[in-house]
Amino acid sequence: MELKIYRDKQEVAEQFSSFFADRVKSEREYHVALSGGSTPKIVFDVLAEKFGSSINWRQIHFYWGDERCVPPTDADSNFKMTVEHLLAKIDIPYENIHRIKGEDEPQKEALRYTEVLAENLPEVNEIPQFDLVILGMGDDGHTASIFPHEIHLWHSEKSCEVAVHPDSGQKRVSITGKIINGAKEVAFLVTGAGKAPKVGEIVNKSGNFQFYPATLVAPKSGNLYWFLDEAAAANLS
């Protein structure tokens, strides 16, 4: 685990964007799973503004780590947010965008997206492998759409599962632990004082850390990065 702590959310976005741009310098295809949330939104803005013309987007394939079961035009859609803040501003082929179809029946879509990953990603030890998985973390310690009350989904043998938000009951399609921990690199983007308690418990291995799905993020490659602002890192020892 490598901790990268910056002044505020904007600096996190700028530093992660540079990290990302450095990773995609080669001419080979690069497969990345995106996250929703407020911090990725700023990251996408920075990527489009500072690297929109310098990155060869044609070699990059975008997927999603999770998606809410809503149409792609819905305000809750992670895909819609990504279109508005990144995809509409860069030159990327349509066929390089592999979205989760949140408007379709959730269980069928989880199966379809499992096939999308199997068909497009290289396979390592019989598991589709991303070059990079970008993750956020909720105030409750959830990541992707694996919530504490359904932490068993993390250990699923499937590549994708249907999760349920504990408060709203909204269904979501999410990749599972085997996909996340099979990636070459995994990067958390976590900002804000509201995240500090869980960040502190997870990194310090204290309190109830074992009950948080974000604790289970441990890529076999050993390449795990936490991009934090000072507010989110306030409880680190």
pLDDT in tens, 121-138: 999 999 999 999 999 999
Residue 237 inside a domain? The answer is no
Write the pLDDT tens digit of every residue in 49-106: 999 999 999 999 999 999 999 999 999 999 999 999 999 999 999 999 999 999 999 9
Residue 234 inside a domain? The answer is no
Q: Which residues contact 24 (CB under 8 A, 6 or more apart)?
A: 30, 55, 56, 59, 60
* Distance from C-alpha of 37 to C-alpha of 51, rounded to nearest angstrom: 21
Residue 236 inside a domain? The answer is no
Domain containing residue 62: CATH number: 3.40.50.1360
Residue 137 inside a domain? The answer is yes
Q: What is the DSSP string of 200-212?
A: HHHHHT-TTGGG-
Percent of the chain with pLDDT over 90: 98
The pLDDT of residue 27 is 82
The pLDDT of residue 38 is 87
Res. 4: pLDDT tops 90? yes
Res. 37: pLDDT tops 90? no
What 3-state class would DSSP assign to 117? Answer: helix
Any idea what the Cα angle at residue 109 is, between residues 124 and 178, rounded to 5°?
30
Residue 207 inside a domain? The answer is yes
The pLDDT of residue 26 is 84
Residue 29 inside a domain? The answer is yes
Q: What is the mean pLDDT of residues 216-232?
A: 98
Looking at the 3D structure of the chain, how many domains does it have? 1
Q: What is the mean pLDDT of residues 17-44?
A: 94
Write the pLDDT tens digit of every residue in 141-189: 999 999 999 999 999 999 999 999 999 999 999 999 999 999 999 999 9
Residue 15 inside a domain? The answer is yes
Distance, first Cα to last Cα, the chain: 15
Q: What is the mean pLDDT of residues 107-116?
A: 98
> What domain range includes position 24?
2-229
- The per-residue pLDDT of the chain, averaged, comes to 97
Residue 28 inside a domain? The answer is yes
